[in-house]
Structure 1
């Protein structure tokens, strides 16, 4: 029997100058439709302003009619905001009007609009640093900051066409699973005023070291737009430290190719330039470690391990005091990589050495990261009671000034251990707090980890619909941040939830895809864990 295919319309909105990116979106939609031709009841078609035709009605009015008949909206921005659609209206650009109309239509049950998402093409740092000189770019940045402040609308950045293509495919996959009755939701409009530039006002004249410190603080608080502008200002004067911190920021935002580009630039500048305990050698080591972290996120665990061992070999002996914090960071990350490939004993040894050094130095934040990493290794190796005891003791004694990101990491691992011990109420409290903290600071990778743990928890408690929603969220967050392990885990959990919901064909498809991701990326221990769980559930994959 054939599948009854429902075609859903995606309106693509943008100011001028983004023709190539609009074509990338069309290519992604065509590829998605081809790949799902025989396995999905939902296909997508593109709607653009050119489809409005000609006539007596004003052009924006005809475009708005197309939006009213569309199911979804994708909005693109780069460095242009556009021009007002009328001289006496409330909107400063046609794209702003189209976006807000899309939001309004989500609340109207009679209209098909279900979701709106926005993608921002990254802007050269030199232009961001001089933001106040370009009113069009400033309006785009103000709009991005306003979206970020609402914490309600999905938006992301991309650095190249491949990144946009991949982000669109992920979004289409989410929308294709949205097969139920439309759920309405009301949103406040998001408006930009050329006369009120909050980002420029907040950032002020910060330059150099002040801008770099403010950028780091903004990134920790999840204020990514503000951080972008401040990093751009710092890069012109602060040299290696600014490049390193910016690469780390890009990696945490899932902009992996840009992160590697910055870290490799820093590494190349340091090679051969430093010796002994010189600053150049320290930055060379930091750059190697940052590249290795990105490689691990991309699924290149063996390359990550090799690079981290290389970094450890070039530390001076004995380790100078100014190198100690970096040595602990590299050791911790080698342990995380070793854990991902199943070398648990060596991983635990490296972390314990790092903890000893951090305790001597009195590093509260570093100690929190190391304890979370050690607990993760213990959890993965089956030493659940030891992991739970370690974290319970550390959380009880930890400083109230511990950052939200660090506390969230600890709680996520603690919740995992408690769940394995069947202390489900305590696990739920820990995981929900971790999820809330990660949302507050915009830590998408941390959100993905908490979502995966919560999906597991809901499977254990038999709430399979909630498990499905959390697994879906984990998969999307992992895709957005480039986290291969998270993507495999989220896809697997989707399959397990669908199995329990009786959706057996869809379950097998998801489970096979998760195994494929684990195999392709060399996560053999993860693949084995998947296969053991499938066998226990009697699922043939």
Structure 2
């Protein structure tokens, strides 16, 4: 039976010089339609100024008419802002006029406009450190978005990351439109330091207003290269002024000293610019390799290798993450007792990556050695972090009492110290253990405690993980509408930081929710896609769960043969991962279904 496909128009707005990016957006829209349109009944049609036929009247006016007929806008900005769209006009460029028109249309009941995605192309550091007039206007606009918090924006560093952003947002729009109820907009709290909160707060840009108040150019332009620029960059980052912090970091690395490059790479990682962070980290490693074999240099090399391994894991490249972290461990061993902290750091991260790839034996060995190294160095916070990792390992292997013991020990240590990130991680892990024991009430309390701590500390990856955990508990308790909102918030946070592992996890949960809310076709698509993505990033445990959940939905719609196939794949993966909890569940369902 043919499905009626509803098509939504997406306007691509951008100044000149971004033809490759516009083409990539169109290609992703077409690819999305080929995969999803027939089954979901949703499709998108890319539109831009190139689609406007000639005619009488102001050219920009004709473009504006098309904008007014569109359902979504994707705004892409690079180093250019564009030129005036009219003589003595109130807008400084045609792109600016299109953006404000779309923004004005969103709340109007007579307009189809629903959402705007703003994407900034990463700017080379030499341009950021000395921007011309065109780039200054782009940066001013970015500052205003950052301050107003009215719209989320993303930064991409290459066409591949742009494609990922487009695909993720199209799927998000499809999910929202497929909901039986109008989605309730939920803002993810963004912590603001006291000194920022007490200053005048920007309340939004009026249509036609120039984006120049509190410009980036004044605060950053006066910074000179070297240490003062680095200090300013770190101070701006601490205040949450990320656009200005990036410009300051760009100035700090003009002389390309290792310390500035390393901190810039860490900044990029924290803000979700993983590909760029990897590039800068590799630059640092190249410099360090040629800097001799002193203990300090060896320790720094190990630290950079750990950073590279973490970024590769965030990008879903578990194979190379494992290689990098193994090398980090070997390098740290060369540093002897002076490198105990970085050795433990490398071992903990190698344990995490090994666990994701299903090598539970290496994972346990890494955690045990890391704990020994941290105790030898007297690092209490580090001990708590490693104990939390051990708790996860014992939980995964079915030893919940041992898991609770290790986790409780970590929480007790952290209760006397001041490391909110580690404390949140320990509470989240306790929630996972309690969830396995089916104590959903106490598990939710632990997850919400972790979420509260993470929101206060403002780490997007951690916030996204906590949101997903709370959503999962709500799903298990049957509160599907609220679970969906939390899961969507988690997906949004993961998309904001380009955390591929996180995006797969959030999509996986949304697929389960859709399967319970009469959206089985979408559920099957999302769960199958999640299973494939887990396989691509080398996470057999995640793939096994996704295959199992896919089989549940397939059984619910009568696809018994396909369900048995999915269960068979899940069972094969369980044999690799050693996940006793899932093994028992899968074998039970296979027995009932056969």
Q: TM-score range by the shorter chain?
A: 0.7 to 0.9
Paired with 2:102 and 2:403, the residues of 1 have a C-alpha distance of 47
| Local SS of the residue matching 2:110 | coil
Give the TM-score taking structure 1 as reference length.
Answer: 0.87
Paired with 2:370 and 2:235, the residues of 1 have a C-alpha distance of 25
Corresponding position of 2:7: 7
Pairing 1:264–2:282 present: yes
Pairing 1:527–2:546 present: no
Greater Cα offset, 118-127 or 471-480: 471-480
Q: Is the 8 A contact 1:292 1:304 kept in 2?
A: yes
Give the TM-score taking structure 2 as reference length.
Answer: 0.80
Paired with 1:221 and 1:362, the residues of 2 have a C-alpha distance of 32
Query: Within 5 A, what are the aligned runs for 1:169-248?
Result: 169-179=167-177, 180=179, 188-189=204-205, 192-194=210-212, 196-198=214-216, 200-201=218-219, 204-205=222-223, 207-216=225-234, 218-219=236-237, 222-237=240-255, 239-248=257-266
| Local SS of the residue matching 1:138 | helix
Greater Cα offset, 217-226 or 9-18: 217-226
C-alpha displacement of 1:104: 2.2
| Local SS of the residue matching 1:178 | helix
Equivalences, count: 537
CA distance change for structure 1 residues 235 and 523 in 2, over 3 Å: closer, same or farther?
Answer: same
Pairing 1:335–2:333 present: no
Q: Is the 8 A contact 1:76 1:119 kept in 2?
A: yes
Paired with 1:104 and 1:217, the residues of 2 have a C-alpha distance of 35
287, 300, 307: which one aligns with 1:283: 300
Structure 1 unaligned blocks of 5 or more: none
Residues 253-297 of structure 1 show CA distances to partners (whole Å, capped at 9, x for unaligned) of 333332222222222333354224142x33332232222222323
Corresponding position of 1:445: 461
Paired with 2:471 and 2:144, the residues of 1 have a C-alpha distance of 30
Pairing 1:24–2:24 present: yes
Structure 2 unaligned blocks of 5 or more: 188-202, 557-562, 567-594
CA distance change for structure 1 residues 434 and 13 in 2, over 3 Å: closer, same or farther?
Answer: farther
CA distance change for structure 1 residues 297 and 318 in 2, over 3 Å: closer, same or farther?
Answer: closer
Query: Within 5 A, what are the aligned runs for 1:67-466?
Result: 67-86=67-86, 91-131=91-131, 134-179=132-177, 180=179, 188-189=204-205, 192-194=210-212, 196-198=214-216, 200-201=218-219, 204-205=222-223, 207-216=225-234, 218-219=236-237, 222-237=240-255, 239-271=257-289, 273-279=291-297, 281-315=298-332, 317=334, 319-321=336-338, 323-344=339-360, 346-355=362-371, 357-358=373-374, 366=382, 369-392=385-408, 394-395=410-411, 398=414, 402=418, 405-435=421-451, 438=454, 443-466=459-482
CA distance change for structure 1 residues 197 and 532 in 2, over 3 Å: closer, same or farther?
Answer: closer
CA distance change for structure 1 residues 99 and 243 in 2, over 3 Å: closer, same or farther?
Answer: same
| Local SS of the residue matching 1:212 | helix
Q: Is the 8 A contact 2:129 2:250 kept in 1?
A: yes
Q: Is the 8 A contact 1:371 1:391 kept in 2?
A: yes
CA distance change for structure 1 residues 48 and 4 in 2, over 3 Å: closer, same or farther?
Answer: same
RMSD: 3.3
CA distance change for structure 1 residues 203 and 319 in 2, over 3 Å: closer, same or farther?
Answer: farther
